[in-house]
Amino acid sequence: MTSRFTFTRLATDGKARRGVVSTPRGDIQTPAFMPVGTAATVKAMMPESVRATGAQILLGNTYHLMLRPTAERIADLGGLHNFMNWDRPILTDSGGFQVMSLAELRKLTEEGVSFRSHIDGSRHMLTPERSMEIQRLLGSDIVMCFDECPALPASRERIAESMRLSMRWADRSRAAFGDRPGYALFGIQQGGLEEDLRGESAEALRGIGFDGYAVGGLAVGEGQEAMFGCLDYAPDMLPDDKPRYLMGVGKPDDIVGAVARGIDMFDCVLPSRSGRTGQAYTRRGPVNIKNARHADDPRPLDENCTCPACTNYSRAYLHHVFRAGEIISSMLLTWHNLHYYQELMAGMRSSIASGEFTAFQAEFHAQRAQGDIEPI
């Protein structure tokens, strides 16, 4: 524990980094995966269960929370940690990405983005200053700069304009955030798949100075190969003594590849969303539990997994409750998926620490290449 926000690199293996982010609300061992708690809940999970999977930090969504129940209401109720019963660190996004992808009738200006709520059509405005205010009201430990990013593919001109706007907003975010000991502000690198624009963005962010740096604007439709191509250089442009966060990523193999390229932090809705749609992630790749071949299978999803879904239930049961539309299906599969993701991160952390990350990656891919267990 610490009264300040710090990042310590404990070991490196190639470009992969093993570290620890310290905050007054607790440490985060990196590489770290942050489950997404969009509307003040990680869907279908109790927070103590999220903690039991090994999660040390959650992500909350500014866009959703500002609309319902509103940041002011959460502040009045003692902040997001108290509201949702999670006393460890919380990172909040800035709302920028979701305003652009989810909101209706949005209008982008130098000042910010005005939009209509997808819930009730009410009018709102997000600016760097308002985003900082909302994240402060929520009590977020790691605050993200307000930024904007175009969906790919986009023209180089559009990407450059957008990136430069985001850099001006990063400057305004930094000024609005002010000096808040124990809380962190992360800048977000943009620039699409254009190496020189990524460099220009990194330069601007370093000039402003942040507690951590995100690689933004990826995982927006460009595909894994293009994403890895960008990650071959983009993280290297960011300060190596600060945590690096790849926003919105991803599938297990995306994460392993990104860690190999120097990323420390991840968030993604996939493990929880997939849990609700019957898809499980396992060491041997994804398993679709609604497939009829599981209906009579007494074996667990993964016999080596120690989560409650694998310890206490058969594939036949998981198949049954999914088909029957039972809530426990979402509860068990989400728990399993989050457990698997955390175990994957823990495996990467220990293999980086012992200089065996190359072997870890080979084993990760070899297990997946086997495919799921044979039907009984």
Among 40, 160, 310, 348, binds its own copies (CB under 8 A): 40
Cα 134 to Cα 323: distance, rounded to the nearest angstrom: 40
Of the two residues 181 and 298, which places its CB atom closer to its own copies in the complex? 298
Looking at 13, 141, 267, 297, which residue is catalytic?
A: 267
Q: Which region, judged by CB under 8 A, interacts with its own copies, from 36-44, 122-130, 216-224, 361-369?
A: 36-44
Q: How far is the CA of 198 from the CAs of 14, 115, 265, 269, in angstroms?
A: 22, 28, 19, 25
Q: Does 51 bind its own copies (CB under 8 A)?
A: no
Is 267 labeled as catalytic in the residue annotation?
yes
Q: Which region, judged by CB under 8 A, interacts with its own copies, from 9-17, 69-77, 160-168, 280-288?
A: 69-77
Of the two residues 154 and 269, which places its CB atom closer to its own copies in the complex? 269
Q: Does 273 bind its own copies (CB under 8 A)?
A: no
Cα 110 to Cα 200: distance, rounded to the nearest angstrom: 19
Q: Does 125 bind its own copies (CB under 8 A)?
A: no
Smallest gap from Cβ 85 to its own copies, in A, equals 4
Residue written as token pair 């667990």: 300
Among 2, 8, 10, 68, binds its own copies (CB under 8 A): 68
Q: Does 84 bind its own copies (CB under 8 A)?
A: yes
Among 2, 4, 73, 109, binds its own copies (CB under 8 A): 73
364 is written with which tokens? Answer: 């990760």
Q: How far is the CA of 361 from the CAs of 66, 197, 225, 347, 357, in angstroms?
A: 40, 30, 17, 10, 6
Is 76 labeled as catalytic in the residue annotation?
no
Among 14, 15, 39, 253, binds its own copies (CB under 8 A): 39
Q: Does 376 bind its own copies (CB under 8 A)?
A: no
Write out the binding residues for its own copies, residues 303-322 only, by CB under 8 A.
308, 312-314, 316-317, 319-321
Of the two residues 286 and 308, which places its CB atom closer to its own copies in the complex? 308
Cα 331 to Cα 370: distance, rounded to the nearest angstrom: 27
Q: Does 77 bind its own copies (CB under 8 A)?
A: yes
Binding site for its own copies (CB under 8 A): 39-41, 43-46, 68-69, 73, 76-78, 83-85, 295-296, 298, 308, 312-314, 316-317, 319-321, 323-324, 326-328, 330-331
Residues noted as catalytic: 93, 267
